[in-house]
Every structure is written in structure tokens, then in C-alpha cells.
Amino acid sequence: MSRHQKEITQQQKLIIYISCALAAIIAAVGTTFLVVHLVKNPPSFIFNSSGISYNSNFSTLSTYDTVIVPEATIIVTDDGAKEKVDKIVDASNQVEATRKNKIIVQNYKVDKSGFIKSKVKLPVEYLSQNPELPTGCEITALTTVLNFYGYDVSKTEMSDNYLDKTIDQIGDFWEVYVGNPRKNGFGCYAKPIVNAANRYFADTDNAYKAVDYSGTKFEDLLKLVEADTPVIIWSTMYGETEKNLREPYATVQWSIDGKDISWIAPEHCMVLIGYDLDRSVAILSDPQRGIVEYDLDTVKARYLAMHSQCVVIEEVPMISGIEDGKTYYTTQCVVVSNHNLKSVTLNGEKVESTFTIPGNAEDIYRIVVTDLDGNKTEMTVYTKRISSLFDPIEGLNEFNVTIDNRSTILAIKTRAQNCLTDYSPYKETRELDIVISGCDLMLQNIDTAVSEYERIKSDFAILEGGEFADNNTETITRLFEDIQAVISSGNLTDSQKSELTTIRSKCSQWLSDSQT
């Protein structure tokens, strides 16, 4: 080896040393930049985490599910509420997916451990959003689940009557559907769908409620499906690439009430109804395509990118046999039904799922039912003594009731007859019989007095309209005596008594004239 060759080798070594030092500096700077970036772009949620809620019984996203989101490429307006939906949609459609505005999701591999079943497919019937709701995938997904739970409701009824919409103006898709599902629109996230579902349940039987599970780990959603619970999830639309689900990207940004919100395209809502861990696929009811399979990891990645938005319909513990706020006079049997029941308490004390509330006593009973998902149903009922049914006519009896009391007595009788006695002891049924018979006696006396009152007025009118003759004396005397008897009964009103008293005076005058 020549001296010249040896010197070149030393120069090469010097270059290598310098290169390594520069590489170390660059690596340090890059790490610092990444840390700063993650601080400014918090993991797990994107853009705006306000309004995100989740069920506390499930795990939320952990820090390894990192979502890196760029700034929106177009700031449409600082006062979006004044803008039209069509204008912003057009602006959004002009934005193309590039390296600069794509949503990057890291660590989206599905953890397949902890499942009991390797494959599940719920018997959910497919419902298409088209042609009536071309932009209504969210409300169609909700209707799909409602139909699964046995509710006979259409997607258009849910969209027209229960979904909050801005129609033609821009708005906050975290709070309301932006646009019109029947025409043009962006869509909405979980909260408006939860609100629409719960409005519908309030109009039906309240046997279920919608819950915002947004932020729940994707694996926990799969376990809900494993437990026969379909899940409404937000994802992206199907495509030819990316395993049939398009890559999400930021498009436009606008401000509503000082809150900057950015739209991620191409947003889509579906129903997660199954999975196959061996084939690594998720099974979904896609309002645009049918019952389809998508790559499991890709579905998780899209779910994370779309703010981890999801909605679950939960069965509410049902209490039957009583009605909230109602008053009972007889013993009632209460039955609590729920497949996931945790506890039942009566005035703070634990009871079985079937129990009785004793009647014929003055008490207040508070029933609280809780299931394992944290759902709670509460009722408060009141009990009274059967004798208190007579409280509205206190001081009255069969000897002094009048036509003015008739409607009240009828109501008391009806209330007593409507008391359920399936679980009543003999003492309760006997007291109810006493109330009913007492009402019958009072009604009978009222009807008798009114009948006599009307007959006397009729007979007097006949006498008063005819010519007075000696052979009327017997009739007048009998009428005079009848007036005395009915007034003495005590079942006439003051006005009726006054009228009959006047008639009696006239009869007395006739009798006096007949003797002269």
C-alpha cells in the first residue's frame, strides 16, 4: 500500500466521523420535533376532543394508538353559520388527498387476544340509504340497528322527524347533521344520532337508550358484537384501494361559535355486525353497499382516524307492574326484567327481581334498578289507605249527598273498581267492596231524589195549566206530601229545595182556597 493510498484512507475516516456526528445531531433534532408535534397533536383524538364521551366500563384509546393529523388545507370561513352547505361542500370536493393532508394512524393492528369466539355474524338485515337519503348514511345506520331490535320504523321517518338538521346552512357536525340527508350535506358525528334515537325511544316504549361510546377501544367494540350487540361506527367510504376503505384526509375548516372544526373526507357511517379473527376481516352493514367484509386492521385504522366515533343501543332495565309517580291503594307485584341485571333496591334495601309493594297504607316507595353496563331505571310510587278514597267527599253520606256530588262519587267508584286485586289479601278486597257499595247507595239516593224532584215539577205544571176544580184536592194533597218527603230526604240541592218550597206554598194556597 502506497503512502498516497494511506493518506486517502485517513481522509475517508475523517469524513465518516463527521458524517456520524451530523447524523446524531439530525436524529436528536428530529426526535425533538416529533415530541413537539405529538404535544400539539394529542394522541387518540383528532382536531377537537370536546363532545367525546364513552362508557366507563370500556377502555379508552391508549397512547400507542397515535393519530397524526395535519392542518386543514382550506379555511372556508370564520363565521360558518352564515354560509350555505352547497358552497362549503363544493369547496370540500375540490380538495384532493395528498401527503400533506392525509390522516396518519399508527399502531392500528387489532389485538386478537381475549375473545371467546373467533367469528361472529349478527342477523342484521341490510338497509340501503339510497335512493331517498343519498347523504344519510348515519341515520340509515341507526335505523338498521333499530330494526334489529324490533322497531318498525323507516329511515325517512327517523331522518324527517327525529334528526336535528341544518338543512341548507353550515353548522357544527358534532352537534347537528350539517345539511339535508335527502339532498346535499356533510353529515354528523355520534351526538346527533344519539339524540335522534333517544327522541324516538321517548315516543315509543323507552325499553332501550342510545349511548355515545366514542373513544372506546376498537377491540372492546368487537367484544360488544361478540355479546350480540351491533355497533354504529364512523369510518370512510369504500374504494378500489386501501383494502376497499379509502384513506381519510383533511379537507375544509370553518368556525362555529368560536369553535374551529375540520371536516375529514370521505366520512361514512356503518354498522359493525361481526368479525372473523382467523381471516382478519370485519363484517359491516354498509348503507351504500350491503353486508360486506373489510380488512379488520383497516377498519380499526379508519375508526381511529374518524375521531373514534361510535354509538351503541342498550337495553334499559324495565320495571313492570307499576307506573312511575302513580298512587296505589292495594298490594302490587313488581317485576324487573333485564338480561344484564346487577341490583334492585326498594327504599335503599336490596330485593329480588320480583317483589310486592303492600297496599292499604300511607307510604312512599323508591325503586332503583341497575344493570352491569351502568344503566339505571328509577321509579317512585305512593300508597294510600283504601278508606282515603272517600277524602274528596269527606263529611258526606247517603243522607246528604246531592246531584252536585254525583260526578265525584262516580269517580271514586271507578277508582275503586280499577284497583288491581290480583295480589291483595282479603282485607283489601273487603274494604274495596265497602267503598263501592257505599258509592252505589249514595248514587241511588241521589237518583231517587232527582227523579222525585222532576216528577213533582211535572205534576205541578199540569195542575197549574188546568182549570182548578174540587176533584183536584186529592191530587194536590198528595203532591204536597211528596214535596215534604223529598225535602226531608236531604238529597236535594239548595236551589232544588227552594223551587219545591215555592211549589209547596202554591199547593198549600190551593188547598186553602178549596176549603172556602
pLDDT computed for residue 47 by the predictor: 32
pLDDT computed for residue 465 by the predictor: 80
Choose between 20 and 365: higher pLDDT.
365
Domain boundary among 384, 411, 437: 384
Same domain, 373 and 415: no
Angle at 93 between CA 238 and CA 262, to 5 degrees: 90
Same domain, 398 and 269: no
Helix axes 473-488, 494-514, angle to 10 degrees: 150
Choose between 278 and 76: higher pLDDT.
278
Q: Which of 268-282, 368-382, 490-504 has the lowest mean pLDDT?
A: 368-382
For residues 185-197, give the mean pLDDT. 97
Same domain, 303 and 361: no
Query: Residue 271 corresponds to which cell in the numbers above?
Result: 354498522
pLDDT digits (tens, 9 = 90+) for 398-425: 999 999 999 999 999 999 999 999 999 9
pLDDT digits (tens, 9 = 90+) for 106-136: 889 999 999 999 999 999 999 999 999 999 9
pLDDT at position 333 over 80: yes
Query: Residue 225 corresponds to which cell in the numbers above?
Result: 358484537
Domain boundary among 347, 362, 384: 384
Give the position of cell 326498594: 346
pLDDT at position 140 over 70: yes
Domain presence at residue 62: no
pLDDT computed for residue 3 by the predictor: 32
For residues 247-263, give the mean pLDDT. 86
Cα 395 from chain centroid (whole Å) = 47
Q: How confident is the model at residue 77 (pLDDT cuts 50, 70, 90)?
A: low
For residues 290-295, give the mean pLDDT. 95
Domain presence at residue 468: yes
Q: What is the 3-state secondary structure (H, E, C) of 333-385?
A: EEEEECCCEEEEEECCEECCCEEEECCCCCEEEEEEEEECCCCEEEEEEEECC
One DSSP character per residue, 36-49 reads HHHHHS-SSS-S--
Domain presence at residue 44: no
Burial class (CB within 10 angstroms; exposed 0-12, middle 13-18, buried 19+) of 369: buried
Following CA atoms 502, 508, 513, 516 in sequence, which dihedral angle do they give, to the nearest 10 degrees? Answer: -160
One DSSP character per residue, 299-310 reads HHHHHHHTTT-E
For residues 243-272, give the mean pLDDT. 89
Percent of the chain with pLDDT over 70: 82
Same domain, 276 and 396: no
Residue of 417, 396, 418, 413 lying closest to 405 (CA atoms): 396
pLDDT computed for residue 511 by the predictor: 85
Same domain, 186 and 246: yes
Following CA atoms 189, 190, 192, 195 in sequence, which dihedral angle do they give, to the nearest 10 degrees? Answer: 180
pLDDT computed for residue 2 by the predictor: 31
How far apart are alpha carbons 486 and 491 in whole angstroms? 8
3-state secondary structure of 224: helix
For the beta carbon of residue 253, count every other beta carbon within 10 angstroms: 18
For residues 423-440, give the mean pLDDT. 97
Domain presence at residue 322: yes
Q: Which of 59-63, 96-100, 219-223 has the lowest mean pLDDT?
A: 59-63
Same domain, 152 and 86: yes
pLDDT computed for residue 35 by the predictor: 35
Q: How confident is the model at residue 324 (pLDDT cuts 50, 70, 90)?
A: very high
Residue 337 lies in domain: 318-384
pLDDT digits (tens, 9 = 90+) for 4-48: 333 445 555 555 555 555 555 554 544 444 333 333 333 332 332
Residue of 234, 261, 233, 236 lying closest to 247 (CA atoms): 236
Same domain, 144 and 263: yes
pLDDT computed for residue 58 by the predictor: 44
pLDDT computed for residue 467 by the predictor: 56
pLDDT at position 65 over 60: no
Same domain, 322 and 296: no
Same domain, 446 and 415: yes
pLDDT at position 230 over 90: yes
pTM here is 0.67
pLDDT at position 246 over 60: yes
pLDDT computed for residue 24 by the predictor: 56
Residues in contact with 203: Cβ distance below 8 Å, sequence separation at least 6, in sequence order: none
3-state secondary structure of 210: strand
For residues 263-270, give the mean pLDDT. 95
Give the CATH number, domain containing residue 218: 3.90.70.10
Highest averaged pLDDT of the listed ranges 55-64, 187-196, 201-210, 456-465? 187-196
Query: Residue 392 corresponds to which cell in the numbers above?
Result: 274528596
pLDDT computed for residue 462 by the predictor: 87
Angle at 311 between CA 308 and CA 314, to 5 degrees: 140
Total number of domains in the chain: 3
For residues 279-301, give the mean pLDDT. 96
Same domain, 326 and 233: no
pLDDT digits (tens, 9 = 90+) for 489-502: 999 999 999 999 99
Give the CATH number, domain containing residue 349: 2.60.40.10
Q: Tell me what the pLDDT averaged over the chain comes to.
A: 85
pLDDT computed for residue 10 by the predictor: 57
Same domain, 81 and 191: yes
Same domain, 311 and 322: no
Per DSSP, what are the bridge partners of residue 169? 84
Domain boundary among 384, 399, 418: 384
